[in-house]
Amino acid sequence: MKLRQRIFGRRLTPKKSSSGGFTLVELIITITVMAVMILTVAPLFDVTSRGYTALEVNTVLSAGMQEALTHIQSRLSENKRLFGRDATGLAFLGCVTPNVSPAPLTGSLLPVIASTGSLTPSGSAFASTNTGNSLLFASVDNTVDISTTNGGASTSIQRMDTYVFNYYYLAPNTTLTIRTYQARDLWEWHSVAYPDYQNLINITDTTLQRNVVKALLAKGFGYAFDPSVGAVNSAFYQLTSAGALNAASPHNIIMAKSQKMINLIRGISLGSFVYSVSPNTGGSLTHKYIVPIYATANGNFPSGLEIEVVGPSSNRRVFGRLVMAAQGNFKGILAYEQVMLVSARDLY
């Protein structure tokens, strides 16, 4: 026995089992619980995501629409001359569109100016054929003070009125679709400023008039506009370095800037969305606002922008209805409506 103890040393005792780690049963239970939790939380996460996206659409799209219409209202409040769907209005529009990019939506129309018309669809004076989906008008811009000399070499300051042409219209968005329809955007187009031709010809001193024309040319004004004439071929005059005013016919109205009016940051929340001025409703596109409700639908016309102009020249009333639609990770199509009604004197 002593020999055995010397060989094997001290008597061995059994080792206790380790308390660290997980058994296979514990792992299976944990994975099962996690799977159940994921299956429970995932639908809630999806619902929350759709809810936040819908809320974002409601907030940013409504604000963008209101800002756009307020901007148009502000320009209309300074209106000098409003162009409708008659021979004169279409002639002026023809001088604008060569410099318009992107091109207007196919079938776009100016409204008919109805001096004795009504904005009430149920009224006998209302005509759906008068409705348009674009606006063209000339508004008063900044005045320009010109300091120069007359024939007697005395210095005087001549104050010149200027005008800007404004065109609001729909254009197709070639990169986005909503349902099966091509998206469309609201655009604003503004011309360069045109000095008032009547201000210039009312300067009786020939030398002073020529010096004013030269000074305007030096300030970057190339043409003058006569808001008092009807025919577009008689409305524009070129300013020359000699101080003369030469009739400019034909004249394509010069663009100063053009931009999309409603620009939103999409995807701030958990989901993303596509927005568009609403196409005409029906077929695969339905939402809570019918488009149109004033005009008679014809192809792309009028889409979600309807314009009515009624009343005498001293008190035109311009009514606008804008309907936007949005598609995203939420169910269905979300739609929003904004309207404007503004008085605009037509001083022509």
Q: Which amino acid is at 168?
A: Y
Tokens 């904005």, located at residue: 119
Q: What is the CA radius of gyration of the chain?
A: 34
CA distance 96 to 166: 9
* pLDDT of the residue at 40: 57
CA distances from 184 to 146, 172, 256 (A): 43, 4, 23
Token code pair at residue 56:
């974002």
Q: Name the 3-class secondary structure at 165.
A: strand
* pLDDT of the residue at 273: 81
Q: Which amino acid is at 206?
A: T
CA distances from 307 to 105, 114, 129, 180 (A): 15, 12, 11, 26
CA distances from 159 to 79, 110, 202, 239, 293 (A): 19, 33, 12, 17, 46
DSSP H or E segment with residue 38: helix 24-76
For the entire predicted model, the pTM comes to 0.84
Cβ count near 119 (within 10 Å)? 17
* pLDDT of the residue at 331: 82
CA distance 130 to 309: 8
Torsion over CA of 277, 281, 283 and 288, rounded to 10 degrees? 100
Q: Which residues pair with 259 in a beta bridge?
A: 188
Q: How many Å from the N-terminal Cα to the C-terminal Cα in the chain?
A: 131
The half-sphere exposure of 39 on its side-chain side, counting CA atoms within 13 A, is 6
- Written as tens digits, the pLDDT of the chain (348 aa) is 454 555 445 555 555 555 566 787 767 777 777 766 666 555 544 544 455 556 778 888 889 999 999 999 999 999 999 999 999 999 999 999 999 999 999 999 999 999 999 999 888 899 999 999 999 999 999 999 999 988 777 888 999 999 999 999 999 999 999 999 999 999 999 999 999 999 999 999 999 999 999 999 999 999 999 999 989 999 999 999 999 999 998 899 999 999 999 987 654 544 578 899 999 999 889 999 999 999 999 999 999 999 999 999 988 999 999 999 998 888 889 999 999 999 998 887
CA distance 75 to 89: 18
CA distance 30 to 21: 13
* pLDDT of the residue at 330: 80
